[in-house]
Structure 1
């Protein structure tokens, strides 16, 4: 996991510099990045604290969020703030959370669609993804309504097989609007799913296999996760 986080952090900083010089997907020199949780994702965020990144030129979004307030330990946004965002000079206005916990999830999903339209109208420069052993990404699980969504970029999830059941998530159309999609995968338990990505298995069975960047799709794995490739 350490090697995965190190490699992702190094590449992250390089992409941020490229966007500031060349304009990025929106052409304004502002990087639009979707953060991920999970062990490797959070470890990567901690490593970014010490790298030379102009955070005023970065807008961050979240691939999914549990239906809890940011103060809850289960909150993806809360974990990202603790790992990274509270330690760097990123303007609060550049952090785009879902605002969950005690609100209607369908309304929250619609609101986040509006946030994306306002702040990421041409998609993302980079979408970071963790992955479950069964191939789920964000809160897109195999054979779920979310994995079958083809139009909406954000959906409410009420039946996540991984607790808590209630979440809001970016969909594959949102993921695939990204210039770069990176999957951070560590551990032998994810070896089958990593192979499914490489073999381009059906996304309905292995959601991670449906994630694809318009310029780059990168699978960053450790030796255990790569054992079946």
Structure 2
């Protein structure tokens, strides 16, 4: 674990793998170890999932590890699964992060339905994304210790867009300054335009936050976040951190504009 800065969040760890496939495999092995460690301490574990190509690839690799009996074991019946953001589209829409996660991992390892906390789709009877966001905030609070707004979140995974967005918090958007744990997002610059997202308050309450980033097109944003300390309003990825640890898991292309040694 990286020690915290004086009066601030932990200094990020930076891990660079040769390519996207090696990145997904390394992240999957680390994820299994992190959840197993949480279960050894607490009896249960919790993870917040992300979508996107690299996020889904990691889940596929986790499912492969779960099928190898000699590997470190996670009791998937004792893992709570949450999401960092979701597209506010119908339940059967292929754009939903939930569907990708179910295919890649959740249905393959047998996570119980009551432990899968999906964000609502647009056809679930909510008046709009604002109501869906408020409902999800209530779900988080219901799973939290008495008096708290959030449960223990052992690990939160994030992807990052080339402009530096994380979850569905985009640069210079209202979500950047929204203090609620879950926010409705409209008019996203990336389709689909309507979404539900955890806010910074919920993201930064996680014990560990891992950013999974691959591809040359994201190298400038990685460098701005890690080297230049860009403000969160301009580059949301620069504003996320875990309570105990923050890890940037990169492939060589995404790390291409960092100085030698990170």
Q: Which TM-score tier does this pair reach, normalised by the shorter chain? A: over 0.9
Relative contact order: is structure 1 or structure 2 higher (C-alpha 8 Å, sep ≥ 6)?
2
RMSD between superposed Cα atoms in Å: 1.1
2:161 to 132, 135, 141: 132
Q: How far apart in 2 are the matches of 1:207 and 1:49? A: 30
Contact 2:137 2:182 in 1 (8 A): yes
Write the distance in 1 (CA, Å) between the matches of 2:171 and 2:202: 17
Q: Name the CA distance, whole Å, in 2 between partners of 1:68 and 1:222.
A: 31
Paired residues, number: 223
Question: Per-residue deviation at 1:50?
Answer: 2.5
Aligned to 2:186: 158
Q: Tell me, in whole angstroms, the C-alpha distance in 2 between the residues paired with 1:164 and 1:9.
A: 28
Q: CA deviation at 1:114?
A: 0.6
Using the TM superposition, name which of 155-164 and 122-131 deviates more.
122-131
Q: Which residue of 1 aligns with 2:106?
A: 85
Name the counterpart of 2:50.
Answer: 36
- Give distance in 1, aligned partners of 2:207 and 2:78: 17
Instruction: Please give the secondary structure, in 2, of the residue aligned with 1:181.
Output: strand
The equivalent position to 1:188 in structure 2, one of 216, 224, 227, is 216
Deviation, structure 1 residue 82: 1.1
For residues 19-50 of structure 1, give each alpha carbon's deviation from its aligned partner in whole angstroms, at most 9, with x where no partner exists: 01112xxxxx2211100111110000001113
Instruction: Report what 1:26 is aligned to.
Output: none
Q: What are structure 2's unaligned runs of at least 5 residues?
A: 1-19, 66-72, 145-149
CA distance in 2, matches of 1:216, 1:3: 22
2:207 equivalent among 164, 179, 185: 179
Is 2:124 aligned against 1:95?
Answer: no
Please give the secondary structure, in 1, of the residue aligned with 2:136. helix
Secondary structure of 2:77 counterpart? helix
Report if the CA contact (8 A) 2:159-2:211 is conserved. yes
Matched position secondary structure for 2:177: coil
Q: Distance in 2 between matches of 1:37 and 1:168?
A: 13
